[in-house]
């Protein structure tokens, strides 16, 4: 291992430079005008694997290509599949960035750029962990398959279709994913659960066109009023979703797990202070951590209708709309929720307007065993690189394909997040702590050896 550590130290700066190259490519999956940049990012990654003498290819999908690479065969050794995503979220609000999102910049020990933590910087740690082995030892301790997609941020449609047809190619003993966070600075974590999601858009339409709100208001239902009635009716004062069947399949927390989460070093007041809100909120009877990780939610993600310009305008808008999503927990079914939601909207919507619901995408929650041999191996690798054993956590975000992996490959997911909660993923000034980047590489290199034991 010392020769590998030596290699990691000697090449640390080049690793950062290469990550910067990767981060300069604006691979925004939500933006159709970036299709060529998606291919550029995929090509760039493929080249990284070919330099390691991996067999690497671009697999076309209806959207951006998948990058798939296999290490030279190590007979008799186990196989790990490394999953990550090279697509990033749109960088707006652009004006809030201190330095431009696609011009990676080092500042106070961090690297700032869109994708720095989510997920280019994190996935790249595994490429460099493998590189160290190949260059220093001429081989890896185990077999590695890399599958890096370009559609995670828009729900992984192409990968899901690939997986249905080609699960056999991906056969492995575990799926390694670094696309989440540590518990806190200095407190590394392994994540054994993620929430799922069901994402919708609702349109409410009223009169044929916008009307004078003085001449017609009061007698004609205002679609924006109706929309807010519907949306506010979806959640009650206790913070519970009012769809009758919504909680039917929810896996409740065991007393043991509840104690485990309560024992994490978490300061609620400091947490809300840092976010900048006066106090917490949410479902009655649960702690902030439970509300974020193990309870389902309803959140409006976007809302429009009526006049948004300068000054005031007295108008009764012809339509209003919203994008909203539910975060789901084990064992809620994202598809099953739709029928109950439609019945509830029909109940809540006044008869004097029309509504239309669009389903965007969904994915179930993830739960893995918190005490598998792989978790033990990863804990040793993290201890080695971060100087302390990881805590076991769940998280509130979603990685849509993980449940598919677990089901179709029969292999557990190993969620090893190197990021921090305040990295600004999806927001302005996204960053990745460079020390965490290098510790992640070292943990990755060590992990391949630990997984062979």
Residues in contact with Mn ion by the rule CB under 5 A:
118-119, 179
Among 46, 79, 110, 155, contact with ligand BES (rule: CB under 6 A): 155
Among 118, 131, 149, 430, contact with ligand BES (rule: CB under 6 A): 118
CA distance 222 to 319: 8
Q: Judged by CB, which is closer to ligand BES: 327, or 439?
A: 327
Positions of E strands within 217-336: 297-305, 315-316, 319-328
Minimum Å gap between C-beta 311 and Mn ion is 37
Work out what residue 211 binds among Mn ion, ligand BES, none; the CB cut-off runs from 5 to 8 Å by kind: none
* Count, residues in the chain: 453
Among 64, 321, 400, 412, contact with ligand BES (rule: CB under 6 A): 400
Among 153, 257, 423, 450, contact with ligand BES (rule: CB under 6 A): 153
Distances (CA, A) of 187 to 92, 97, 266, 387: 30, 28, 11, 10
Q: Which residue in the shown chain puts its C-beta closest to ligand BES? A: 397
Distances (CA, A) of 127 to 15, 45, 259, 356, 393: 10, 9, 37, 45, 25
> Given phi > 0 = left and psi -120 to 50 = alpha, else beta, which region is 156?
left
Minimum Å gap between C-beta 298 and ligand BES is 14
Residues 156-185 close enough to bind ligand BES by CB under 6 A = 179-181
Work out what residue 400 binds among ligand BES, Mn ion, none; the CB cut-off runs from 5 to 8 Å by kind: ligand BES
**Is 423 an interacting residue with respect to ligand BES (CB under 6 A)?**
no
Distances (CA, A) of 16 to 43, 114, 186, 278, 448: 19, 15, 21, 38, 22
Q: Which two tokens stand for residue 231?
A: 């949306």
Query: Which neighbouring-strand residues pair with 35?
Result: none
Q: Judged by CB, which is closer to Mn ion: 67, or 230?
A: 67
CA distance 388 to 188: 7
**Is 152 an interacting residue with respect to ligand BES (CB under 6 A)?**
yes
Work out what residue 397 binds among ligand BES, Mn ion, none; the CB cut-off runs from 5 to 8 Å by kind: ligand BES
H or E element, residue 56:
strand 55-59
User: Which one-letter DSSP state was computed for residue 112?
Assistant: E
Minimum Å gap between C-beta 153 and ligand BES is 5
CA distance 259 to 256: 5
Q: Which two tokens stand for residue 99?
A: 């330095």
Q: Judged by CB, which is closer to ligand BES: 115, or 305?
A: 115
433 within 8 A of 186, measured Cβ to Cβ? no
Work out what residue 243 binds among ligand BES, Mn ion, none; the CB cut-off runs from 5 to 8 Å by kind: none
Pick the stretch among 4-12, 128-136, 147-155, 292-300 that binds ligand BES (CB under 6 A): 147-155
Give 3-state DSSP helix, strand, coil % of the chain, rounded to 5: 35, 25, 40
Among 194, 243, 294, 411, contact with ligand BES (rule: CB under 6 A): 194
**Is 398 an interacting residue with respect to ligand BES (CB under 6 A)?**
yes
Number of residues that bind ligand BES (CB under 6 A): 15
Which residue in 126, 110, 190, 192 sits closest to 368, CA to CA?
A: 192
Alpha helix (H) residue ranges in 52-91: none
**Is 197 an interacting residue with respect to ligand BES (CB under 6 A)?**
yes
**Is 368 an interacting residue with respect to ligand BES (CB under 6 A)?**
no
Among 397, 412, 424, 440, contact with ligand BES (rule: CB under 6 A): 397
Q: What is the contact surface with ligand BES in residues (CB under 6 A)?
A: 118-119, 152-153, 155, 179-181, 194, 197, 395, 397-400
């Amino acid at each position: 291992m010392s020769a590998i550590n030596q290699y990691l130290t000697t090449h640390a700066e080049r690793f950062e430079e290469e990550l910067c190259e990767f981060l300069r490519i604006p691979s925004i999956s939500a933006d159709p005008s970036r299709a060529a940049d998606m291919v550029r990012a995929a090509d760039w990654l493929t080249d990284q694997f070919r330099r390691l003498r991996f067999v690497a290819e671009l697999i076309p999908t209806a959207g951006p290509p998948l990058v798939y690479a296999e290490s030279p065969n190590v007979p008799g050794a186990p196989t790990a599949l490394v999953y990550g995503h090279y697509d990033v979220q749109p960088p707006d609000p652009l004006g809030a960035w201190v330095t431009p999102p696609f011009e990676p910049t080092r500042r106070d020990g961090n690297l700032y750029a869109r994708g720095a933590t989510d997920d280019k910087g994190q996935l790249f740690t595994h490429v460099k962990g493998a590189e160290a082995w190949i260059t220093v030892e001429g081989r890896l301790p185990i077999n590695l398959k890399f599958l890096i997609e370009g559609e995670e941020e828009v729900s992984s449609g192409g990968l899901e279709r690939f997986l249905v047809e080609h699960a056999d190619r991906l056969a492995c003993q575990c799926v390694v994913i670094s696309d989440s966070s540590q518990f806190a600075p200095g407190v590394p974590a392994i994540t054994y659960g993620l929430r799922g999601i069901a994402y919708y858009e609702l349109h409410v339409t009223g009169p044929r066109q916008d009307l004078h709100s003085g001449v017609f208001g009061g007698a004609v239902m205002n679609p924006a009023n109706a929309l807010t009635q519907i949306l506010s009716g979806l959640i009650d004062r206790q913070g519970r979703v009012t769809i009758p069947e919504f909680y039917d399949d929810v896996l409740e927390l065991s007393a043991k797990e509840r104690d485990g989460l309560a024992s994490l070093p978490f300061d609620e007041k400091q947490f809300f202070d840092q976010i900048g809100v006066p106090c917490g909120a949410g479902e009655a009877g649960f702690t902030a951590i439970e509300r974020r990780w193990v309870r389902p939610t309803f959140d409006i993600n976007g809302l429009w209708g009526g006049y948004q310009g300068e000054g005031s305008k007295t108008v009764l808008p012809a339509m209003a709309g919203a994008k909203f999503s539910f975060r789901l927990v084990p064992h809620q079914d994202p598809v099953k929720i739709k029928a109950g939601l439609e019945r509830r909207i029909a109940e809540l919507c006044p008869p004097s307007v029309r509504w239309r619901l669009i389903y965007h995408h969904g994915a179930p929650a993830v739960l893995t065993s918190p005490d598998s041999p792989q978790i033990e191996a990863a804990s040793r690798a993290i201890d080695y690189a971060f100087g302390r054993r990881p805590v076991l956590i769940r998280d509130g975000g979603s990685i849509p394909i993980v449940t598919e992996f677990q089901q179709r490959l029969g292999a557990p997911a190993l969620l090893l997040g190197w990021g921090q909660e305040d990295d600004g993923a999806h927001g302005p000034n996204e960053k990745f702590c460079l020390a965490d980047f290098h510790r992640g590489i070292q943990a990755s290199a060590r992990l391949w050896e630990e997984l062979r034991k």
